Amino acid sequence: MYPSFSPNHVQTQFLFLTGKGGVGKTSTACATAVALADSGKKVLLISTDPASNLQDVFGIELTSIPRAVPTVANLYVSNIDPEASAKAYRESVIGPYRDIFPEVVVATMEEQLSGACTVEIAAFDEFTGFLTNREIGNLYDHIIFDTAPTGHTLRLLQLPMAWNGFLEESTHGASCLGPLSGLVDKKELYSSAVAALSDLTKTTLILVTRPDVSAILEADRASKELKEIGIKNQMLIINGLLQHYNEEDEVSSAFYHRQRDALKQIPETLKETTMYSLPYVSYSLTGVENLRNLFKLYDEVPTTDVYMENQSMNLPGLKEVINDFSGNQTKLIFTMGKGGVGKTTVASAIAVGLVEKGHRVHLTTTDPAAHLDYQFQSDHLNQNLTISSINPKVEVEKYKAEVLAKSSENLDEAGFAYLKEDLESPCTEEIAVFQAFAEVVAKSENEIVVIDTAPTGHTLLLLDASESYSKEIERSTGNVPESAKKLLPQIRNPKETAVAIVTLAEATPVLEASRLQDDLRRASINPQWWVINQSLSATNTNDHILKGKAMAEKEWIQEVKDNKAEKCAIIPWLYEEKVGYDKLKDYIK
């Protein structure tokens, strides 16, 4: 049904991989690079993997300057870190003024340059060098990037407003491109980079997904968005597809069937793309030999490791988390994490657990309403539990309409288009959602509020800044809503508010969760709990392949326990989907 992906399918010089965090973009890129190099092609692999485990994969120190890999002829690797580039850029601007301005002034400058957009633009800036430099282009048959620019970045660069210097006049005071001044000098360069991206004969976009509904939907979204902007040469790789299962093992067969069910939900639009698959493998893709094995389609490799008995890490379950919240009389609970780690389920289970302990609870989620109804099969609701949902799309549209109405009268068509694109920024959604749940919290009385999302540190610092800003400037007509203002001090108070970070026991999800935590700490919020969800090592599977994976989880569980989390809990991979109030109680048994 899904032919195996093979490097022979690669026809173009440039190859970009895109997909949700944790789907295996970097591993797929590495394996493809090694295979192409083995077939005699000269290959440059450019990774943006900030975990820099590429250094372990290839056994050499990596920098942004391409280096030859000693164990693979014809393969060169370069590692760039957009976060570091953005940081370096930030420091180059601010550094000279640290001693000249008071600390508070420097802090406002830093925050201006700390948004997600600065990092995105910095990454694009790095790619540009490789895409447009003829000398580099002539050296290699293939240049593989393990990530791709987002539609938001590409659309911004296409807009006329980005280029005419009008930016500096602060049309509407803010811009995603604003933080990178000096952009204008690069118009030619960026323009040819964008041209190379949309040339079918030069660039292939590989959408990477897992056989998992949320990852598939994300791939579909990225596919549509990038197609619209002209990147039409696309293919889809379903990574980690379990090839067969062990009928006697409950976990193994449930795992297999859940994957197959997810594949049935591939949207029609995405089905038009050429689809390939790569097998679920028990080994970690961290050595050149294992990378080679991936395309030989071995799902297991002979190993000398003796499977250690599943020694427990002595981590508590979700029950302990709920007891903690209940005992501390926490009023406001956020579950936070990247998409697909199970924030909503964990939030729902926490809500149910607290109701079972006799509390009145309001659960609000940003998941589509249909899913919430499904989760609770609403007729079985306990009277102490109320639920509501916030639809981010609706909130964002509401917010955008408000902004455009307020600001558009002074703008011409181009200015208006620019303003609209700025509103596509990830920050916009965060702010809009924050305002919506501030409303929910303001309305609640004598109940615990559980929310399946949390604001980022950037959002909180901005809200903080704008609050003091509007206090100072009476003339300012932009206002932070009353409910949002009230929520700010409450969120900062650890006696009232708790944040639980939800993650999976894998490299990328742990790294992403750790970034979320750092970002929140910037805004002086300390997540109390980390919840490791869907852990295979917490199950009793005897299936060889899954057991291999369970072993690989240990490193990350240890990392979370020792270096990341204040307190840490673990939830096993459950072979039955927990739907409905009574089933959710299973999480707290």
Catalytic residues: 22, 24-27, 49, 508
Minimum distance from CB of 421 to another protein (Å)? 10
Which residue's CB is nearer to another protein, number 268 or number 472? 472
Sheet holding 497-503, edge to edge: 385-389, 361-365, 448-451, 332-336, 497-503, 529-535, 567-572
**Environment class of 571 (CB within 10 Å of its CB; exposed 0-12, middle 13-18, buried 19+):** buried
Residue number with CB closer to another protein (104 or 308) = 104
- DSSP one-letter string for 138-207: HH-SEEEESS---HHHHHHHHSGGGTSSGGGG-SSS--SSTTSTTGGGGHHHHHHHHHHHT-TTTEEEEE
- Shortest Å distance, C-beta 414 to another protein: 4
Q: Taking the CA of residue 585 as centre, how many other CA atoms within 13 Å lie in the half-sphere pointing to its CB? A: 9
- As measured in angstroms, the least distance from the Cβ of 410 to another protein is 4
Q: What does the alpha-carbon distance between residue 1 and residue 22 come to, in Å, rounded to a whole number?
A: 24
Q: Tell how far CA 141 is from the center of its chain.
A: 31
Q: What is the dihedral of CA 172, 173, 179, 185, to 10 degrees?
A: 50
**Residue whose C-alpha is closest to residue 125's, from 29, 207, 193:** 193
Q: Considering beta carbons, is residue 110 or 250 the nearer one to another protein?
A: 110
Q: Which residues contact 429 (CB under 8 A, 6 or more apart)?
A: 392, 395, 396
CB 230 within 8 A of CB 201: no
Contacts of 345 (CB under 8 A, 6+ apart): 375, 533, 578
What is the closest distance, in whole angstroms, from the C-beta atom of residue 404 to another protein in the complex? 9
Comparing CB distances to another protein, the nearer of 434 and 581 is: 434
Choice between 93 and 369, CB closer to another protein = 93
The rounded Cα 45 to chain-centroid distance in angstroms is 22
Nearer to another protein, 280 or 418 (CB): 418
Phi, psi torsion values for 361, nearest 5 degrees: -130, 140
Q: Name the token pair of 456.
A: 């980022």
Write a three-state SS string for 492-529: HCCCCEEEEEEECCCHHHHHHHHHHHHHHHHCCCCCCE
Smallest distance from another protein to CB 106, Å: 9
Other C-beta atoms lying within 10 Å of the C-beta of residue 457: 20
Three-class secondary structure of residue 474 per DSSP: coil
Minimum Å gap between C-beta 492 and another protein is 16
Answer whether 299's CB lies under 8 Å from 282's CB: yes
The pair of structure tokens assigned to 68 is 């030859």
Closest CA to 270 of 211, 199, 219: 219
Taking the complex as a whole, the smallest distance from the CB of residue 111 to another protein amounts, in Å, to: 7
Rounded least distance, CB 101 to another protein, Å? 6
Task: Report CA torsion sign: 68, 73, 75, 79.
Answer: negative
Q: How far is the CB of 454 from another protein (least distance, A)?
A: 16
Pick 14 or 434: Cβ nearer another protein:
434
Report the C-alpha gap between 435 and 481 in whole angstroms: 7
Helix (H, G, I), strand (E, B) or coil at 16: strand
Strands (E), 247-360: 274-279, 332-336
Task: Kindly tell me which of 420 and 554 has the beta carbon lying closer to another protein.
Answer: 420
Nearer to another protein, 427 or 584 (CB): 427
Work out how close the CB of 311 gets to another protein at its nearest, in angstroms, rounded to a whole number. 48
Q: Which is nearer to another protein, 189 or 381 (CB)?
A: 189
DSSP category for residue 240 = E
